[in-house]
Amino acid sequence: MKRIQPDLWETEVESPFPGLTTHAYLLLREGGNMLFYNTSLRQEIESLGPLGGVAFHYLSHRDEMGDSLRAIRERYGARLGCHRREQEDCAKYCAPDILFDQREIYPEGIEVIPTPGHSPGSTCFLASAAGGKRYLFTGDTIYFADDEQWRAGFIPGVTDPGEVETLAASLRILQQLEPDVAISSAFGGDAGYQQMSPRDWPAHVDRALERLRHVN
């Protein structure tokens, strides 16, 4: 585990398959810690204990699902959340306790923002830190690439070409936010997050939208 903000910890990097790298992130909260995304590393799951364990485990989309969902629930009693449209995929590993359906505020002031396009149930999360910073967990809706640019989560040959406009609409929702730190699930390069001025974020999303217009 690596501390990247006063109240935010990052798990060791994983590569579920060639070309994909991921982290999970533990957000410390007095009312119960929250784990965003997922880790399959047993030593990292155990490392969550000394930090206070996991009260809520929030998934951004179906690619984060796996056997470790049940291991984290059994170890910490975590309540698992995913989008309703991916409930069946999640239940193959662990039945979810919380189903996201619409944009709303969840416990501890976490804003849940459905952003379909990368997958039917893709969801982002906006959290305010104790020091006032805003963390935006973008899943794979928009990810931090190896050229240190933010790119739309359209994967040629994987993402349905008919979802380009759906994904673009989701990016425009995210563009209205003002994060101090944006944190993707999958990423390229050496890091899965970037600190920025909130006023810089719309330009990052603009560039991602421009690239998305040319995927076909």
Burial class (CB in 10 A: 0-12, 13-18, 19+), 16: middle
CA angle 50, 56, 57 (to 5 degrees): 95
Task: Report the amino acid identity of residue 116.
Answer: P
- For residue 18, the model assigns a pLDDT of 66
* Residue range 60-106, pLDDT digits in tens: 999 999 999 999 999 999 999 999 999 999 999 999 999 999 999 99
- Domains and their CATH numbers in the chain: 2-212 (3.60.15.10)
Beta-bridge mates of residue 184: 139
Average pLDDT for 126-140? 92
CA distance 124 to 114: 6
Task: Supply the mean pLDDT for the chain.
Answer: 92
Q: Span 4-14, mean pLDDT? A: 94
- Looking at residue 125, its pLDDT comes to 98
- Which residues have CB under 8 Å from 35's CB, separation 6+? 24, 25, 26, 27, 48, 54, 56, 57, 58, 72, 78
pTM of the model: 0.94
Q: What is the pLDDT of residues 102-124, one digit of tens each?
A: 999 998 889 999 999 888 999 99
pLDDT score for 98: 96
Residues 186-213 pLDDT 10s: 887 778 899 998 889 999 999 999 999 8
Query: Dihedral angle at the C-alpha atoms of 151, 155, 156, 157, nearest 10 degrees?
Result: 180
User: Encoding tokens for residue 160?
Assistant: 């349905």
Provide the residue type at 14 as one letter: E
